[in-house]
């Protein structure tokens, strides 16, 4: 693992990963959208390369007679004269939009899993000498090899987390070429592994930016209420650069807060600030403050909300008051366009639907979504559950797989730990119980808690039955002991019998913790009406929702749920013709944006719960 704790000695780390190989990624810069730079989104030329021809280094051709002079795509070559043999040409190749997955942009790439080379040219002049430059990628699924002006900057593994490379001194005022090889092949030892229930969208799926900073700058910061303390703010600042000892000023406009501290030799400062007049962030009043962090050379602004979250017995307390989580799960997919969601507009569409449902909580399944989601949730007052793709089975005994999962979790937490909306870090989904798995997951919990002691940690666990008592369902997973919430996916009425058995079900829980049911649901093809025993009818789905909600209401420690799922989503596992056609149909909203009847069942339930709690 590369950088942990509060990012420890990043001045030193800057030397290691700035410009060098970053195999599993070190946490990326905080708040890249708050920095000047150059947007590298837009059309990029691409070469689809299933046979990995592009790896061949053209420059070695003269020394290796057996090699075919075709590759070296990262050199972005053009024949120097009419006789030279160069068998590729980015300028004449098609383009794909960045950010965006390739599957939805070209029919021939719909099921493609392999390598695509992307190329983009740019010019850039930094604002002043001595400024530093970083190439930032919001995410690339799954592996990215990055080359600038023909030189390799490094590799990043993991499809949903940000990464960057320092390129200070490597960017010319004109004529730069940036080439990225993106490979979305699935691997047994990867996170996630080879089998999931979502589309393996490949490509440069999130924003790409050139980010400019001063020579020594605020790389990371955390400004949040101290755990269990409603009027004290904890601030941590980490500088990166040759002059680590500086004076830092943190101001919170409108809260009468201005605090100062000196950073130490490693560029770190950690301090507490009294903030007696702070208005707390909540779903009802999502108050965000303008926060500024300034040194003599750097100044970065953010919008941050302040709230506490804790568990007491079987209650979840938001700002000290019990809350019921009226949730919904969602994938980061725009169902109307059948593609990865990546923009602010996408985030507003998806989270806007969640608000229409009268939800106050959203589970961002099953991997880190883009930073836009958390920022829009901050604005809208939606609480979030964020998750890493430790899904179904993973190589629990493989140290590299653990390191990969830890790196993804770290990158997510470092990116989003200033977001008031985020209240839960989820480390896994439906992982079968074994000693090796529980050990693996407990390591992830330790990572989460060390990076962020002020949020809850959970996982979507599984339910077990008892052959001697068919109506009993048990949640006593040994991993439950390490979690703050007791969360599990239950599909009684869909994968587990028919809905008629739901009223008979009773529950046994191994822990006196808040129960937040992370999934239940049923497939329904929007517009298909039949009786409630007909699979895939809207009536069947409605029946599952009605009976499940009635069953859950009988659980004394029930504190919330995120049913599966807001929208129909693409999945290659879902092949039933005329019904699924490559879509998981458990959405409450169809792939053409129509609300199914179950949407209104859940909406009414949430309205009633919200009214009862007032």
How do the residues of the chain divide into helix, strand and coil, expressed in percent and rounded to 5?
Answer: 20, 30, 50
Neighbouring residues of 104: CB distance < 8 A, sequence distance ≥ 6 = 110, 201, 337, 338, 339, 340
Span 462-491, contacts to ligand GCB by CB under 6 A: 489
- Binding of residue 200 to ligand GCB (CB under 6 A): no
Nearest of 261, 248, 362 to residue 299 by alpha carbon: 248
C-alpha to C-alpha distance for 34 and 303, rounded to whole angstroms: 10
- Binding of residue 564 to ligand GCB (CB under 6 A): yes
- Binding of residue 197 to ligand GCB (CB under 6 A): yes
C-alpha to C-alpha distance for 75 and 492, rounded to whole angstroms: 56
- Binding of residue 584 to ligand GCB (CB under 6 A): yes
Q: How far is the CB of 301 from ligand GCB (least distance, A)?
A: 38
Among 519, 538, 543, 568, binds ligand GCB (CB under 6 A): 519
Span 387-446, contacts to ligand GCB by CB under 6 A: 429-430
Please give the backbone phi and psi of residue 68, each rounded to the nearest 5 degrees, phi first.
-90, 130
Residue with smaller CB distance to ligand GCB, 321 or 573: 573
Number of residues that bind ligand GCB (CB under 6 A): 9
Residue with smaller CB distance to ligand GCB, 88 or 564: 564
C-alpha to C-alpha distance for 427 and 386, rounded to whole angstroms: 9
Q: How far is the CB of 197 from ligand GCB (least distance, A)?
A: 4
In the 8-state DSSP scheme, what is residue 567? Answer: B
- Binding of residue 213 to ligand GCB (CB under 6 A): no
- Binding of residue 333 to ligand GCB (CB under 6 A): no
For 28-150, strand residue ranges (E) read: 37-39, 42-48, 95-98, 115-122, 132-137, 143-148
- Specify whether the CB–CB gap between 191 and 408 falls below 8 A: yes
Q: How far is the CB of 379 from ligand GCB (least distance, A)?
A: 28
Each residue 23-62 as x (binds ligand GCB by CB under 6 A) or -, in order, gives ----------------------------------------
Place of tokens 């899904």: 391
Residue nearest to ligand GCB as judged by C-beta position: 197
- Specify whether the CB–CB gap between 324 and 513 falls below 8 A: no
Q: How far is the CB of 366 from ligand GCB (least distance, A)?
A: 6
Rg (CA), the chain: 25
Residue with smaller CB distance to ligand GCB, 363 or 455: 363
C-alpha to C-alpha distance for 81 and 75, rounded to whole angstroms: 17
| Strands 383-387 and 361-364, sheet pairing | parallel
- Binding of residue 447 to ligand GCB (CB under 6 A): no
C-alpha to C-alpha distance for 77 and 176, rounded to whole angstroms: 13
Q: How far is the CB of 196 from ligand GCB (least distance, A)?
A: 7
Q: How far is the CB of 560 from ligand GCB (least distance, A)?
A: 17
C-alpha to C-alpha distance for 573 and 240, rounded to whole angstroms: 46
Structure tokens at 534: 């007909």
Q: How far is the CB of 190 from ligand GCB (least distance, A)?
A: 17
| Strands 464-465 and 217-225, sheet pairing | unpaired
Each residue 540-559 as x (binds ligand GCB by CB under 6 A) or -, in order, gives --------------------
Q: How far is the CB of 168 from ligand GCB (least distance, A)?
A: 42
Q: How far is the CB of 536 from ligand GCB (least distance, A)?
A: 13
Torsion sign across C-alpha atoms 611, 567, 538, 596: positive
Each residue 352-381 as x (binds ligand GCB by CB under 6 A) or -, in order, gives --------------x---------------
Residue with smaller CB distance to ligand GCB, 541 or 584: 584
Residues at the contact surface with ligand GCB, assessed by CB under 6 A:
197, 366, 429-430, 489, 519, 564, 584, 586
């Amino acid at each position: 693992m590369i950088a942990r704790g509060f990012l420890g000695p990043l001045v030193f780390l800057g030397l290691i990963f700035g410009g060098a190989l970053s195999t599993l990624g070190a946490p990326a810069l905080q708040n890249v959208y708050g920095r000047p730079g150059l947007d590298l989104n837009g059309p990029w030329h691409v070469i689809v390369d299933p046979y990995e021809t592009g790896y061949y280094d053209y420059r070695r051709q003269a020394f290796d007679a057996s090699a075919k002079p075709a590759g070296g795509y990262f050199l972005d070559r053009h024949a120097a004269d009419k006789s030279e043999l160069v068998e590729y040409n980015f300028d004449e190749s098609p383009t794909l939009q960045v950010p965006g997955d390739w599957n939805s942009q070209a029919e021939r790439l719909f099921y493609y899993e392999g390598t695509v080379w992307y190329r983009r040219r740019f010019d850039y002049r930094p604002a002043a000498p001595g400024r530093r430059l970083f190439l930032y990628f919001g995410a690339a699924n799954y592996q990215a090899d990055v080359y600038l002006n023909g030189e390799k900057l490094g590799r990043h593994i993991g499809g949903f987390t940000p990464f960057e490379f320092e390129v200070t001194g490597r960017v010319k005022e004109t004529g730069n070429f940036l080439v990225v090889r993106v490979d979305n092949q699935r691997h047994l030892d990867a996170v996630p592994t080879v089998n999931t229930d979502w589309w393996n969208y490949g490509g440069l799926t999130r924003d790409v930016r050139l980010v400019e900073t001063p020579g020594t700058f605020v790389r990371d910061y955390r400004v949040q209420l101290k755990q269990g303390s409603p009027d004290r703010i904890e601030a941590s600042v980490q500088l990166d650069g040759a002059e680590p000892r500086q004076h830092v000023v943190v101001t919170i406009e409108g809260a009468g807060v201005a605090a100062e501290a000196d950073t130490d030799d490693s560029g770190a400062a950690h301090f507490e600030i009294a903030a007696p007049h702070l208005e707390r962030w909540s779903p009802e009043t999502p108050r965000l403050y303008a926060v500024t962090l300034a040194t003599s050379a750097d100044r970065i602004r953010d919008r941050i909300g302040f709230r506490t979250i804790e568990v007491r017995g079987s209650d979840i307390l938001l700002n000290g008051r019990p809350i019921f989580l009226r949730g919904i799960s969602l994938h980061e997919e725009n169902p109307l366009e059948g593609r990865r969601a990546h923009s602010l507009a996408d985030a507003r569409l998806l989270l806007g639907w969640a608000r229409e449902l009268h939800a106050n909580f959203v589970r961002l399944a099953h991997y880190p979504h883009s930073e836009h989601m958390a920022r829009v949730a901050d604005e809208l007052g939606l609480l979030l559950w964020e998750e890493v793709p430790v899904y179904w089975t993973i190589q629990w005994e493989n140290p590299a797989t653990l390191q990969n999962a830890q790196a993804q979790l770290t990158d997510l937490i470092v990116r989003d730990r200033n977001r008031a909306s985020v209240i839960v870090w989820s480390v896994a989904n439906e992982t079968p119980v074994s000693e090796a798995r529980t050990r693996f997951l407990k390591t992830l919990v330790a990572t989460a808690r060390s990076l962020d002691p002020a949020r809850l940690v959970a996982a979507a666990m599984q339910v077990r039955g008892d052959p001697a008592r068919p109506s009993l369902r048990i949640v006593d997973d040994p991993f439950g002991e390490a979690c703050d919430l007791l969360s599990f996916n239950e599909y009684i009425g869909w994968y587990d019998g028919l809905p008629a058995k739901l009223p008979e079900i009773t529950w046994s829980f191994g822990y006196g913790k808040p129960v937040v049911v992370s999934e239940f649901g049923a497939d329904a093809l929007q517009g298909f009406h039949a009786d409630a025993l007909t699979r895939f009818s809207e009536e069947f789905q409605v029946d599952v929702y009605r009976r499940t909600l009635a069953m859950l209401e009988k659980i004394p420690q029930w504190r919330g749920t995120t049913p599966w799922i807001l929208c129909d989503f693409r999945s290659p596992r879902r092949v039933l013709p005329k019904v699924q056609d490559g879509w998981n149909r458990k959405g409450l909203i169809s792939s053409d944006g129509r609300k199914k009847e179950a949407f209104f069942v859940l909406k009414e339930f949430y309205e009633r719960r919200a009214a009862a709690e007032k």
